[in-house]
Amino acid sequence: MVSLRTFFTSITSVNSRRFLGVLLLASVFVGQVDAQQSIIPRAPQIAATSYILMDAKTGEILVEENADIPLPPASLTKIMTSYVAANEVTQGNVSLDDQVHVSVKAWQMEGSKMFIQEGTQVRLEDLLRGMIVQSGNDASVAIAEHIAGSEAAFADMMNQHAELLGLNNSYFLNASGLPMPQHTMSARDLALLSKALIENFPSHYAMYSEREFTFNEIRQPNRNSLLFRDRNVDGIKTGHTDEAGYCLVASATRDDMRLIAVVMGTDSTDARAIESQKLLTYGFRFYQTLQLFENSEVLSTERVWSGKNNAVDIGITDEVYVTIPRGQEDNLVRELVIDETLKAPISAGQVLGNIKISLNDQVFYDGPVVAMEVIERGSFIKRIMDFLHLFFLNLFG
């Protein structure tokens, strides 16, 4: 078998032998491997109104059902509340050490509570844990009022963040998730929000893995039972109301792969954990996250005409990850196509071709390759010599 790295290294020395300036790596590679068809069973049946399974690194959707239907999110709303709070802390607008005044409204909140007292001062970091670990509705309102002045103003901030994140089926009216008309989220939006939270605020996300929190000598366990059942799970949030049913957003890592599973509208606390575990097990068993390219990775060195330099490095500027069937890395087909004739001047980052990665007719990546350096125009004599060289090459084929 030929690995991704070995294959690209092996073709670099023959890049100049292009037919009409096109290097078709796939034709070389296919002859070197005996690709084995990957066998992936159908996704498990999930007893939920809506669900989705996402690779957190690539955003690839592995399983979904009714994922874009807006539904009551219950306490899953608090993921957005914590996202906004984490952003405000990062921006320096508030501090984790802030002493937050507890209003009558926060103290009187119904449902799950952190048990803060009206008129007292509570550190913002404690309120965040009370909201994340204990799912405190009182903590959610206290946080919202501290950051925005009122819960209604904070809900407006939530909706603005939702728009920035591309959450097209979410609308927020409060910070806690208590039922209100039109207060909805979709499973896909919850997965996207969780992905953004994990990527943008990793230290804040770490709170979601804490199994218990004690405040005012009242100890409460994390309601996410998967934290106690599966050592790979490190978040994220449960929710329940009569309207929403039992909901769970779960995230886990295994073998350098992170998955996010969302289930909404299950029948019980056990059901939401069981259905989420089904999704995670399926994803880890049959898929893997693969890094195709590193930052500023050079894939090819190509001839340049009329330039101060005779060659240019061509590659990928950013890291590229894909989600593929597990064990199929060496069977990927790579096809690199370079523009027919490269002439100076060439600017760094200029698109000079395309690379496609596929398996069994399924395309996993299709994107541009660019110049990794600047190639300036050569002298007048150099340009004339290269013009004549190209003329005779084209003349005699």
Residues assigned a catalytic role? 75, 78, 135
* 78-108 core/surface letters (b: 16 or more CB in 10 A; e: else): bbbbbbbbbbbbeeeebeeebebebbeebbe
Q: Which helix (H) or strand (E) holds 183?
A: none
Q: Which two tokens stand for residue 135?
A: 């799912």
Give me the residues paired with residue 366 across strands.
356
Q: Which two tokens stand for residue 109?
A: 């909140």
Residues, the chain, total?
A: 397
Task: Give dist(CA 213, CA 222) in Å, integer.
Answer: 8
50-55 and 61-65 strand pairing: antiparallel
Task: Give dist(CA 371, CA 347) in Å, integer.
Answer: 7
The answer to whether the beta carbons of residues 100 and 143 sit under 8 Å apart is yes
Selection from 342, 327, 335 nearest residue 372 by Cα? 342
